[in-house]
Amino acid sequence: MEQTIVKNQTGTFISAANLLEHWQGHRRLTRRVIEAFPEKEFFEYSVAGMRPFANMVQELLAIAAPGLRQITGGETEQLNEHQEHQNSKAYLLALWDKATAEINQLWVQIPEEKFEETILAFGQYEGTIWSTILYFIDNEIHHRAQGFVYLRTLGIEPPYFWQR
Amino acid sequence: MEQTIVKNQTGTFISAANLLEHWQGHRRLTRRVIEAFPEKEFFEYSVAGMRPFANMVQELLAIAAPGLRQITGGETEQLNEHQEHQNSKAYLLALWDKATAEINQLWVQIPEEKFEETILAFGQYEGTIWSTILYFIDNEIHHRAQGFVYLRTLGIEPPYFWQR
């Protein structure tokens, strides 16, 4: 194996356009996990005193589009994890789809030099914009995986992890 | 809010150097999750017929450094998720640390223009190198989150997700 050492790794690992597609791929998978839950269990079922999956989805909705609104120059909003859900999966799925469109619309407003800037997300979490956005995605993967376990304990086969 | 549309998003979302640090941050968290398990439960305990966390860690070890070896021009290896673990957390933690060093060493051999190239990881998974590496990381977050649930069902508080 060639033992080349590449000294300068300040270049691109992933482009902004590809990162958006990567994120939306994860969001499509999370949407399928929401769909896989029976209505009642989505809002009520949990394991080991953790939150029902609906509450995790409320958190994800509270983060993605509102977080991007701040990044693109909007007001810094409070993290509101308790938005209305009307005890309806269809209602939360509609909010999910609304967020999908809003994320696409906001994303293209971010100039690429901005990803290295620092922000205080939701007025409380300091970091670069790239690390903040990766945190949004990683947090979604993390909670969705908990949803996978909930489904398995309910005897329901989750969607394939690799299907985006 | 300014409604600027940024047409060209082919530029950098995250640099190669920052992605390595991001990945190793996740690996440090996974290491803490391994440490949080009691020895016996690490190898034997599971929820809903899923694998014990030790087997998930074997999978993660089978992916990270071997996957990077292929990316940096080494042989394409078979995915070997059943490597020796000697029923010892300390043994797997030592393999984890060895992989940490190897990942750092291999990473700097990847020229940045290579991330857009396509590979057939482990001779079976086709994708760009950036998407393959993100898959390695996402898969780790996914299985580690299942480990979080295992810990909670055991009455053990997992490490903080945001602590890297």
pLDDT digits (tens, 9 = 90+) for B53-111: 999 999 999 999 999 999 998 889 889 898 889 999 999 999 999 999 999 999 999 99
For helices A89-107 and A16-36, angle between their N-to-C axes, nearest 10 degrees: 180
SS3 state of residue A1: coil
Q: Is A30 exposed, middle or buried (0-12, 13-18, 19+ CB in 10 A)?
A: buried
Q: Which of B25, B15, B7 is nearest to A116 (CA)?
A: B15
- Please report the beta strands in A6-89, taking only residues with DSSP state E, as ranges in sequence order: 12-15
Token readout for B25 is 């941050």
Cβ within 8 Å, pair A138-B141: yes
Mean pLDDT over A133-155 rounds to 98
Q: The complex's ipTM?
A: 0.94
Is residue B125 within a helix (H) or strand (E), and if so which, with residue range? strand B125-128
How does pLDDT run across B122-149, given as a tens digit for each residue?
999 999 999 999 999 999 999 999 999 9
Interface contact B115-A17, CB threshold 8 A: no
Bridge partners for B151 per DSSP: none
The residue among A14, A116, A148, A162 with the most chain B CBs within 10 A of its CB, best to mutate, is A14
> Is pLDDT at B3 greater than 60 in this prediction?
no
Least confident of A7-16, A28-37, A57-66, B92-101: A7-16
For residue B136, which residues of chain A lie inside 8 Å, CB to CB?
none
Cβ neighbours around A13 below 10 Å, total: 25
**Domains, chain A, ranges and CATH?**
16-153 (1.20.120.450)
Q: How many CB pairs under 8 A join A and B?
A: 172
Q: Do A16 and B10 touch (CB under 8 A)?
A: yes
| Contact list, B134 vs chain A (CB under 8 Å) | 14, 22
Tokens for A5? Answer: 């050492």
Q: Residue A143 above 50 pLDDT?
A: yes
> Does position A1 have pLDDT exceeding 80, yes or no?
no
B 114-153 residues with CB < 8 A to A: 115, 130-131, 133-135, 138-139, 141-146, 148-149, 152-153
A 44-83 residues with CB below 8 A of B?
47-50, 69, 72-74
Q: Identify which has the larger pLDDT, B28 or B163.
A: B28
Helix then strand count (H, E) for chain B reads 5, 3
Packing angle between helix A129-153 and helix B16-36, nearest 10 degrees? 40
Our CA-based measurement puts residue B98 at a distance from the nearest CA of chain A, in whole angstroms, of 18
In A, which residues are within 8 Å of B14 by CB distance?
Answer: 12-14, 19, 115, 130, 134
Tell whether B85 is in a known binding site. Answer: no
The Cα–Cα gap between B41 and B111 comes to 42
